């Protein structure tokens, strides 16, 4: 399966701390994407990193990609209570008509 | 000015019924998708359309029939509903094909089959 697998499954931190979430996958990818889902809502795209990139930043988000280890990490710095949500990594494998394959998600709780 | 909208938001129905979920995007995207999210939050693609043409059909039972009247709309019709169809269904769109770019998701339709 190409499915990304995130870890940990759940993470609870104090407001102001950093949150690090990891994702591993099995086959070659074109890109890897991170999404956030607030309870009862749709997914919101956070950041996309292409296979030839190693690191990207967007505001308080930092994503790294290690294609040799087939892994990615999402770092949220200076977390806020509003960051409480589920976070999903999704991989797009190489090839025509590729699709996004989502992991099972990480539940992040940020305590005020 | 919602980017991707779905109706209805909630759908409660009995086994054996037929129901439809509608999706519209105003982003001008060519590619649209249907995803199913189960009770464990596992999200799996069902269908992908590019400019009204079916691109991906992810071995979904043929009780599920997507229809794209134009590239801004992708509706999902489900025949003979079963208990296992209970889930949250998300529509999404993208300006890229082949999952080469970000996808924009609708708010979801929670389907409960009793």
DSSP per-residue codes, A15-68: TTS-EEEEEE-SS-EEEEEEEEE-TTS-EEEEEEEETT--EEEETTEEEEEETT
pLDDT at A5: 81
Which band of pLDDT confidence, cut at 50, 70 and 90, is reported for residue A94?
A: confident
pLDDT at B30: 93
Q: Is B47 on the interface with A (CB under 8 A)?
A: no
Q: Is B107 on the interface with A (CB under 8 A)?
A: yes
Counting as low any pLDDT under 50, the low residues of chain B are none
Query: pLDDT exceeding 90 applies to what percent of chain A?
Result: 84
Q: Is B90 on the interface with A (CB under 8 A)?
A: yes
At B5 the three-state DSSP class reads strand
Chain A residues close to B10, C-beta within 8 Å: none
Which band of pLDDT confidence, cut at 50, 70 and 90, is reported for residue A98?
A: confident
Which candidate from A30, A31, A104 shows the least CB-CB separation from B41?
A: A104
Calculate mean pLDDT across residues A54-71.
97
Which residue on chain B is closest to A47 by alpha carbon? B102
pLDDT at B1: 65
Which band of pLDDT confidence, cut at 50, 70 and 90, is reported for residue A1?
A: very low
Calculate mean pLDDT across residues A82-97.
90
At A93 the three-state DSSP class reads strand
């Amino acid at each position: 399966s190409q499915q990304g697998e995130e870890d940990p499954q759940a993470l609870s931190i104090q407001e102001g701390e950093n949150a690090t979430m990891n994702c591993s996958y099995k086959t070659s990818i074109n890109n890897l994407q991170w999404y956030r889902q607030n309870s009862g809502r749709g997914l919101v795209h956070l950041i996309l990193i292409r296979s030839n990139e190693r690191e990207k930043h967007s505001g308080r988000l930092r994503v790294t990609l290690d294609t040799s280890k087939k892994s990615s990490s999402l770092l949220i710095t200076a977390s806020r209570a509003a960051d409480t949500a589920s976070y999903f990594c999704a991989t797009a494998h190489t090839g025509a008509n590729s699709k996004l394959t989502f992991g099972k998600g990480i539940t992040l709780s940020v305590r005020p | 000015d919602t980017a991707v909208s779905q109706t209805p938001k909630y759908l409660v129905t009995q086994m054996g019924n037929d129901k439809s979920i509608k999706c519209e995007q105003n982003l001008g995207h060519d590619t649209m998708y249907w995803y199913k999210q189960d009770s464990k939050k596992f999200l799996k693609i069902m269908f992908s359309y590019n400019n009204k043409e079916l691109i991906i059909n992810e071995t979904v039972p043929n009780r599920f029939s997507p229809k794209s009247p134009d590239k801004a709309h992708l509706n999902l019709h489900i025949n003979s509903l079963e208990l296992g169809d209970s889930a949250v269904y998300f529509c999404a769109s993208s300006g890229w094909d082949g999952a080469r770019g970000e996808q924009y998701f609708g708010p979801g339709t929670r389907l409960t089959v009793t």
